[in-house]
Structure 1
């Protein structure tokens, strides 16, 4: 291996991003990027620093024929030296292609879940306003059939797409190495996609914001209940369109971040995610137990549902505190 490949390999073994390694060396991220892409070579002082930081000898870094890291005396080997899964160019292309094909499907499935109650709400409004001779029973029946149909189609899509991407799950959850050319390929695709991603996020966010305007205007003008109910359905449809745009472009960009192990997919973030996932599972089990216990004790099922929105808001706060504490503990150890 050449020096560029060794720097990249050792950095990933230690779970550092290019920014984190650059901070340790007091250089720019661009400098580290150029070293890893063999566009430039670090000077002797930087090589010595890299040797000390990685815990390997300078001979290993500088001699291409040295394939096995030679530890510095006094530095004990750690579990970071165990071999990692290696992702080839073919695997990377397959992963990006599958994500690109599944992105609109997953986005449409999420949008279907959001829009699923819109027919029920719309027909219920017409029935209440006695428009179109629609009885309450017909409105409820047709609305529920549409709701369950949308949800069933969405669940089928989630399962189908999940089975297709199952073999790539380790990319999101585990540390891995990339073969020569994978990082450059992902960076090039990410660079070309940035414009599309920005536009998609912007359009999606704007749609979610303006979705409430018709309903707010109708409420301010004291519009009939049937009109307000119709605008609730319109709100759900517009929000669904916005979420579709956000998820579609987000999944495609996410595939590049996953291969580059950047953003939410750095090695340190993956390690933190494993701990936070265990916390999340315990949290929601406790929330469910409280809900069921309170509901059966009081038999006030019409009121105890309030636990879920409270638990959702509280989870965001508690999860943020948990992650902050874990990051502080990591810094103390380092």
Structure 2
């Protein structure tokens, strides 16, 4: 029996279409069609991968004289989990649900210093009658409450998806129809993913425009400058929400298809924009507090937020480039 006939038999036994096998092998459907039509033979690396995928020896695939009775089954392949159609559907739905939660949690982290900044500015204006101590205490309390809520959201979201952690770390197989389902949902989601990324990145880049406009005309108006800075943080937050929501859903497709950072060769976690964003803005907040807490002059730390907002689009761009370069 020649290689082409063996491949057809193994594929049908696994219940896969040519397209699904092609997805498992990270090749085109045309390549699989040529293999099965005896028009070409895969290279050695792909032969080894086929042997692991189907649980047979490379000798069985390459030597025509070896028939089914001589197949050597790979014990490693037998231990692989098999993702069912129901599990794949549920995983995607859970990711869609938790993507909203995580995005909202990141948004809370980004806007958490707004009250502290506004109250700090108001304390500098005697007409409002707010002391620096009161402004600092209330602002910090609100900041910590928002961050605590965000952390609670992250923990709850993780608990919802904990049962699917193996998709990131382990090699698994999929039942018939799973690959087609995921590819179909991914294709339908493509436009929304692209649109949200364009809008999200644009908002992050343009967020500081109102602030710099205010600097040109009302540089000495403390309350106005702080308000525009807070507006910039709010706009950045909205942009990040858009990026995080579609990013998490898009990664769920990659995990099920074992593509990008989740191929069978890699199986290593890739940086998630939401994680990077949360760490970034919490670090900025920590730096701001380290500068302003000793003196309680909350307006002195403005420059931290301006620099952070200007640098943030670059951080997002770098993360996206790194993710693509790994794919």
Aligned residue runs from structure 1 range 45-56, under 5 A: 45-47=39-41, 53-54=47-48, 55-56=58-59
Aligned residue runs from structure 1 range 1-334, under 5 A: 2-4=9-11, 18-19=25-26, 22=27, 29-32=28-31, 35=32, 42-47=36-41, 53-54=47-48, 55-58=58-61, 66=68, 69-70=71-72, 81=77, 83-221=79-217, 222-270=219-267, 273=269
Distance 1:95 1:129, change over 3 A: same
Distance 1:148 1:69, change over 3 A: farther
CA distance in 2, matches of 1:180, 1:131: 71
Query: Could you list the per-position Cα deviations for residues 131-168 of structure 1 after superposition, in whole angstroms to 9, with x for gaps in the alignment?
Result: 52222122112211210111111111111111111110
For structure 1, list consecutive stretches of 5 or more residues without a partner in the other structure.
10-15, 23-28, 72-76, 277-300, 303-308, 310-315, 328-334
* Matched length: 255
**1:3: how far off?**
4.0
Q: TM-score, normalised by structure 2?
A: 0.67
Distance 1:133 1:67, change over 3 A: farther
Query: Could you list the per-position Cα deviations for residues 161-196 of structure 1 after superposition, in whole angstroms to 9, with x for gaps in the alignment?
Result: 111111100101221111111110000000000011
Distance 1:226 1:163, change over 3 A: same
CA distance in 1, matches of 2:158, 2:69: 38
Q: Verify the 8 A CA contact 1:60 1:66 in the aligned structure 2.
A: no
1:26 — aligned with what? none
CA distance in 2, matches of 1:67, 1:148: 67
CA distance in 1, matches of 2:200, 2:63: 50
Q: Verify the 8 A CA contact 2:121 2:223 in the aligned structure 1.
A: yes
**1:66: how far off?**
4.8
Distance 1:48 1:137, change over 3 A: closer
Across the aligned residues of Structure 1 and Structure 2, the Cα RMSD in angstroms comes to: 3.8
